[in-house]
Structure 1
């Protein structure tokens, strides 16, 4: 298995908005994205986190890689958006360590295809376990503050695994 990871847009945007996109590079080196994810990042906008994404691309920490072959793109496109389809196909093509994805349908399809998956919360747990961050809960709070959707059950599971507590709302 390769040491590179492939990422979907949602987690990349969220990590950039909470100023932790570099965590991916620190933990795994370069992160690959397909062209459809590059388009989803909307780098021409002035949204929060865009400058961080642009820097990661210009420094080669995020790399756009073409997906080959695209023959399955149309059948998967019935279930998923183009970015998720290309991310799944690129993850297969590159035999990646894992696909960073949070969207439920995309996770289900990736699992069925035998692709290891990690969501943003799992990534933060791994980062804490490996000593890259001291605490998970403050970052979960930041994700919630920017409007990232995390279920209360997921937050509870993650904070329990991390042996932490969330700040009161």
Structure 2
């Protein structure tokens, strides 16, 4: 069971690599707030059509709304999508939460959730043989999706990937 926040889906969709999530995890669950961050906005967001049409991306409502409020009160800079993704991951006892936002990831880890970001997804995709190299995909994320990666993290990911 894998729950995702908005960023991994929108960024992979922006470069035409969203199917990596299906290949790695089979099914992805997103909260209603994450769905709305992509679909219920005035601008076109990469991944919006996909979350509405792909069978393997399932939207689920958080049962315990109070847990979302509690997560947001603990850390005020956590947005609704991040809080709902964490709450849903806790409710579903998810094996993994996909989230890029550093503060959100730290809070999720404090709750005992296993968390990885988009760069961790790319490393796993390479290990599983779904992509031959991480660098060109990471470069496309930076150039085409405006994905932000510090030069230190960029170098660390490439070293971890053996590239």
TM-score when normalising by structure 1: 0.88
Asked if residue 135 in structure 1 is aligned to residue 133 in structure 2, the reply is yes
- Structure (1/2) with the larger helix percentage: 2
Q: Distance in 2 between matches of 1:55 and 1:99?
A: 19
Unaligned residue ranges in structure 1 (runs of 5+): 165-169
2:106 aligned residue (108, 111, 115): 108
TM-score when normalising by structure 2: 0.91
Say if 1:11 and 1:100, in contact at 8 Å, map to a contact too.
Answer: yes
Alignment of 1:55-70 (within 5 A): 55-70=50-65
Deviates more, 1:77-86 or 1:132-141: 77-86
Aligned CA-pair RMSD? 1.5
Please list the CA deviations of residues 75-129 of structure 1 after superposition, one character each: whole Å capped at 9, or x if unmatched: 2123211100000010111111200001011101100000000110011000000
Q: Distance in 1 between matches of 2:135 and 2:40?
A: 29
Q: Distance in 2 between matches of 1:135 and 1:156?
A: 14
| Residues matched between the structures, number | 159
Q: Structure 1 segments of 4 or more deviating over 4 A?
A: 43-46
Flag the 1:107–1:163 CA change in 2: closer, same or farther, 3 A: same
Alignment of 1:1-169 (within 5 A): 4-42=1-39, 47=44, 49-50=46-47, 53-78=48-73, 79=75, 80-145=78-143, 146-164=145-163
TM superposition shift of 1:44:
5.8
Q: Distance in 2 between matches of 1:44 and 1:70?
A: 22
Q: Distance in 1 between matches of 2:56 and 2:64?
A: 24
